[in-house]
Amino acid sequence: MCADYTGPDHAARRGALRSLLVENGVDALLVTDLVNIRYLTGFTGSNAVLLVHSWDMRGAEDRTVIGTDGRYAAQVAEQTPDLRAEISRATARRILELAGEWQLGRVGFESHVVTVAEHESYGELRTGLQLVPTSGLVEQLRMVKDDYEVEQLRAACAAADAGLASLLERGLLRPGRTERQVARDLEWAMFEHGAEAVSFETIVAAGVNSAVPHHRPTGAVLAEGDFVKLDFGAVVDGYHSDMTRTLVLGEPAGWQREIYELVARSQQAGREALKPGAKTAEVDAAARVVIEDAGYGAQFVHGLGHGVGLRIHEAPGVAKTSTGTLLAGVAVTVEPGVYLPGRGGVRIEDTLVVREGGPELLTLTSKNLTVVE
């Protein structure tokens, strides 16, 4: 991170969004997704509406305004001092009424977020506005991470790395313990190492359960010879990490080494394919062909990865059906897996940032097969 870079430049983010609004022919955008509002303003309350005005920069007044209710009056003043704030119980109604008074004309709304009932209520206001559906404009900006965001992702990954290391050092992953016990201990260890939250419900899947891609921890008891799949992440300043490691309790069987080494080769191929300009479907294919050529294509049942940031799953998707192209600065996961029902499974996952010259690896825990004695 640049030495003089102190935090996110929310005004610059809104400026980039204005360019997209002009391209999409709208005079303003009504932002109702709270994650998008946080990205554009820094506001972290649980109720807000943001109107971003695509003003023409020729002396016209910028009508950008954030609305929230009285619970957050002090918070919005502290977190968004550069924006006009409107305090109202009927937050969206008040912001749209202002847009009508200002005669903003064509106002976009996040059609992938707004419900049918909400849209109908907007139309009942008689503001004279033309409400225009838009989709994914802010998410398009969020794909490419700035220096501040990468720093938070790096810190979130470090908390997860340290949490797993602590779990192993303290002997908390061993036969006789349950999946739930290990999951709770791993989560607490991440909190001890800087996490403010966990990215999602931690997955601990032992033995035959490791063949279930998104198994939820149960009272199943870990046993000698088990694969143990750990899928987990930490949150720092709202940014998520995502990592999966598969370990074995005691000396691994031949089939376990075979499957693990196969997934490791696939994962390496996927990482190496992460380049600016690469098509996301081709990145998926680079990893998938390794598993298919070994005869296990039917056992790799999900996409290769996904974007990660203020949400644990965000754009871009990295899968066979993906249509996007990677840009420098995009943060993604690479997580191939092979799952053998009734026997066990392996997934290896990292969080990385796409860079010129090769991706930056943020999850640093070794990917060598770890044998827990």
**pLDDT, position 1:** 37
Q: How far apart are CA 142 and CA 121, in angstroms?
A: 29
Residue 58 pLDDT greater than 90, yes or no: no
**pLDDT, position 123:** 86
**pLDDT, position 62:** 87
Residue 233 pLDDT greater than 80, yes or no: yes
Counts for the chain of helices (H) and strands (E), in that order:
10, 20
What are the residues facing 282 on neighbouring strands?
A: none
Span 298-319, average pLDDT = 98
How would you label 259-298 residue by residue, b for 16+ Cβ within 10 Å and e otherwise? bbebbbbbbbbbbebbbeebebbebbbbbbebbeebebee
Between the alpha carbon of residue 139 and those of residues 20, 39, 311, the distances in Å are 11, 10, 11
Closest CA to 329 of 353, 362, 350, 359: 353
Residues in the chain: 373
Residue 206 pLDDT greater than 50, yes or no: yes
Mean pLDDT of the chain: 95
Q: How far apart are CA 83 and CA 89, in angstroms?
A: 19
Residue 6 pLDDT greater than 90, yes or no: no
Q: Which amino acid does the sequence have at 253?
A: A
For residue 295, is it left (φ>0), alpha (ψ between -120 and 50) or beta? Answer: left
Closest CA to 183 of 141, 226, 233: 233
Q: How far apart are CA 354 and CA 275, in angstroms?
A: 6
Span 71-98, average pLDDT = 96
Q: How far apart are CA 179 and CA 221, in angstroms?
A: 7
What are the residues facing 351 on neighbouring strands?
A: 333
Residue 4 pLDDT greater than 50, yes or no: no
Do 214 and 313 contact (CB within 8 A), yes or no?
A: no
The set of long-range contacts for 9-18, using a CB threshold of 8 Å and a minimum separation of 24, is 9/146, 10/39, 10/40, 10/41, 10/42, 10/80, 10/82, 11/82, 13/39, 13/40, 13/141, 14/40, 14/41, 14/52, 14/64, 16/141, 17/52, 17/137, 17/138, 17/141, 18/52, 18/53, 18/54, 18/55
Between the alpha carbon of residue 7 and those of residues 79, 148, 150, 157, 332, the distances in Å are 12, 6, 11, 19, 22
Over residues 19-45, the pLDDT tens digits come to 999 999 999 999 999 999 999 999 999
Which distant-in-sequence residues (6+ apart) come within 8 Å of 284 by Cβ? 270, 303, 304, 305, 318, 319, 320, 322
Q: Is 269 in a helix, a strand, or coil? A: helix
Q: What dihedral angle (degrees, nearest 10) is formed by the CA atoms of 83, 84, 89, 94? A: -120
Span 94-102, average pLDDT = 95
Residue 105 pLDDT greater than 80, yes or no: yes
Residue 274 pLDDT greater than 60, yes or no: yes
Do 26 and 106 contact (CB within 8 A), yes or no?
A: yes
Q: Is 131 in a helix, a strand, or coil? A: strand
Two tokens, residue 321: 């059906």
- pLDDT band for 59, please (50, 70, 90 cuts): low
Please give the helix or strand (H or E) that residue 255 lies within, else none: helix 254-272
Span 212-232, average pLDDT = 98
What are the residues facing 284 on neighbouring strands?
A: none
Residue 152 pLDDT greater than 90, yes or no: yes
Span 100-114, average pLDDT = 94
Span 290-316, average pLDDT = 98
**pLDDT, position 56:** 62
